[in-house]
Amino acid sequence: MKTLDISRKLKRDHRTIKRFVADSEHRRVCADKGTLRKISARSMHQIKRAAAKIPLHSSKQIFEAAGASGVPRTSRCRVLQSLATVHKPSICSPLTNAHQQKRLHWAKKYMKTNFQTVLFTDECRATLDGPDGWNSGWLVDGHPVPTRLRRQQGGGGVMFWARIMGTELVGPFRVP
């Protein structure tokens, strides 16, 4: 086939096809061949210390905390890959042992109460900013994954309210 026919089929410029056919053995070689840019041992130590101090932060935040701002993103990530890994925070309940003991005490106190005469009311909020847990960050190897508390109310959303008394349900209503 002619180079013009090949270029039409591949939807490439005919000069590119000519160049490739003329020197098909020539392969483009990456300039840095996958090596890290030169970073001093002192800077590496500062970066590792910053990553340990502020876990689960972005590479840019870690490098700025280490005093090495202005490093391209690719280089930052390649340096951090040798020191750390990317993790998401583990989620834990915000209840402490004191909270659990107080709840248990309340349940024991009101165990024999007739709840048919008690009015239960509650509201909930549907958030518009999407589910939590989409964030992740760099964590130095060997360090434990920190936890984060769940948010009850965050971002914009819609509030709903309802009440229950005995077997009667009133609501839900949208709260303006």
Structure confidence at residue 101 as a pLDDT band (50, 70, 90): very high
- Asked whether residue 104 carries a pLDDT value surpassing 90, the answer given is yes
Q: How confident is the model at residue 133 (pLDDT cuts 50, 70, 90)?
A: very low
- The pLDDT assigned to 132 comes to 45
pLDDT, position 108: 92
pLDDT winner (highest mean) among 31-40, 63-72, 119-128: 63-72
Greater pLDDT, 31 or 7: 7
Average pLDDT of the segment spanning 47-72: 88
Higher pLDDT, 15 or 150: 15
The per-residue pLDDT for range 141-158, each reduced to its tens digit, is 777 877 765 555 555 677
Q: 3-state SS string over the chain? A: CCHHHHHHHHCCCHHHHHHHHHCCCCCCCCCCCCCCCCCCHHHHHHHHHHHHHCCCECHHHHHHHCCCCCCCHHHHHHHHHHHEEEECCEEECCCCHHHHHHHHHHHHHCCCCCHHHCEEEEEEEEECCCCCCCCCEEEECCCCCCEEECCCCCCCEEEEEEEEECCEEEEEEEEC
